[in-house]
Amino acid sequence: MRRSLSIACSWPSATISPAHPPWLSLRHRPTPPGWTSFAITVIAASVSPLCWWPPLPLDRFQAIARCWASLLPVKFPLILCAATPTLPRRSPMSLFPTTEVAVIYIRRPTLHDLNECARLDASFTTTKVWQMSLQADSGRIQVQFHLVHLPRPMTVPTPPEDRDLTKAWQRGDGIYAARRGNKILGYIHLEVDREMKTGHIRRHVVAPEFRGQGVGVALLERVVEWGRERKLRGIEVALSTKNHPAIEFYLTHDFAFTGFSEHLWGGQEILMHFSRIAR
C-alpha cells in the first residue's frame, strides 16, 4: 500500500516524537493507486498558498519538511498539506488536489472586520427565562430568581450596539474576532475599568449558524487571557433575564451571580450580573 504524507499544525496539544518541533504532527494516510510523489502547500492566516515544491520522493520530502518547519515562527497558524498524483508535468496548482481547509482564527479585528462585526445577528431564541421576585419586610429584603419554562420558543431581538466599536478599538479595548476564510463568525468586546482593574464584557456575539461549535468559548478564553496579561482582578458581564442561553453559558465557564440592576432598553429590563476572577 502506497502512502501519502500530511503535515499539520496542532500546537499545543500535539503528541509527537522529540525529533519534531513541538507543534508539528506527522500523519500517514492511504492514497489511490498511482499516487507516488508529493508536494507541499503552505497556508497561513487564510491567504493563498505561499510556497510550493515540485514532487519529491517520500524520504526527501520528510527531510525538507522537518528542516523547513524548524525554521518557522511558532506564532504563525500553519497548515502543511501533501500528496499529488504522478501525472504529466503541468502547472503546480493544477497538480495539487483541491481541498477546503476549515480553520478558525481568533485575532484582533481590522477596521474592515469591525463593520462585519456590527452587522452580525445578535438575536437569540429561548424556551426559558429568569423571573425575579422581591420581598421587603421590616429589617429584611429578599430577592429570588426563578427559572420559568415558556409554552413556546421565544426569539428576542437584541438592540443595536449603542457604543462606537471603532472608538473602543482605537482606545485599545480587548476586542477579538473569530474569522474563517473571508467570513467573520463572531466577536467579543471587553471594556476595562482602569480604576477598579476590572473588565466588562459589553458584547459577545456569534452568528446564529455557528453557535454551539466552540466559537464563543474560544473568544471568551482569548479575552480572559488578555485580561490576565493586564493584571485585571476580574471580568464581569450583565445579561437580560430573558437571555437564558447566555446565562447558562457563562455559569458553565466559571462565572458566578453577583447581583442585578434595572436597565432601560425602550422599556424596563432587569439585568443579572455575573463575574469571574481573571487571574
Q: Is residue 60 located within the same domain as residue 115? A: no
Q: Is residue 168 located within the same domain as residue 258? A: yes
**Is the model's pLDDT at 10 over the cut of 50?**
no
Q: What is the pTM of this model?
A: 0.63
Mean of pLDDT values over 201-226: 96
Q: Is residue 11 located within the same domain as residue 81? A: yes
Q: Is residue 162 located within the same domain as residue 273? A: yes
Please tell me the distance from the alpha carbon of residue 12 to that of residue 48, in angstroms, as a whole number: 25
User: Would you say residue 74 lies in a domain?
Assistant: yes
Q: How sure is the predictor about 266, in pLDDT bands with cuts at 50, 70 and 90?
A: low
Q: What is the CATH number of the domain that holds 116?
A: 3.40.630.30
> Which among 80, 101, 122 is the end of a domain?
101
User: Would you say residue 106 lies in a domain?
Assistant: no
**Is the model's pLDDT at 173 over the cut of 80?**
yes
Q: Is residue 226 located within the same domain as residue 121? A: yes
Mean of pLDDT values over 154-160: 85
Mean of pLDDT values over 243-251: 97
Closest CA to 274 of 200, 212, 211, 214: 200
What pLDDT sits at residue 23?
A: 39
Residues 6+ apart with CB under 8 A from 123: 155, 156, 157, 158, 208
> Quick check: 179 and 105 in contact, CB under 8 A?
yes
Q: How sure is the predictor about 68, in pLDDT bands with cuts at 50, 70 and 90?
A: low
Question: Residue 177 sits in which domain range?
Answer: 111-277
User: Would you say residue 61 lies in a domain?
Assistant: yes
User: Would you say residue 144 lies in a domain?
Assistant: yes
Q: How sure is the predictor about 58, in pLDDT bands with cuts at 50, 70 and 90?
A: low
Q: Is residue 149 located within the same domain as residue 79? A: no
More confident residue, 138 or 249: 249
Q: Is residue 227 located within the same domain as residue 129? A: yes
Closest CA to 223 of 263, 258, 259, 186: 186
What pLDDT sits at residue 18?
A: 39
> Which among 53, 83, 101 is the end of a domain?
101
**Is the model's pLDDT at 52 over the cut of 50?**
no
What pLDDT sits at residue 31?
A: 41
Q: Is residue 91 located within the same domain as residue 124? A: no
> Which among 45, 69, 101 is the end of a domain?
101
What pLDDT sits at residue 269?
A: 84
User: Would you say residue 123 lies in a domain?
Assistant: yes
Length of the chain: 279
**Is the model's pLDDT at 133 over the cut of 60?**
yes
Phi and psi torsions of 90, nearest 5°: -135, -170
Mean of pLDDT values over 23-30: 40
Q: Is residue 117 located within the same domain as residue 87? A: no
Closest CA to 187 of 199, 195, 178, 196: 178
What pLDDT sits at residue 121?
A: 94
Q: Is residue 129 located within the same domain as residue 247? A: yes
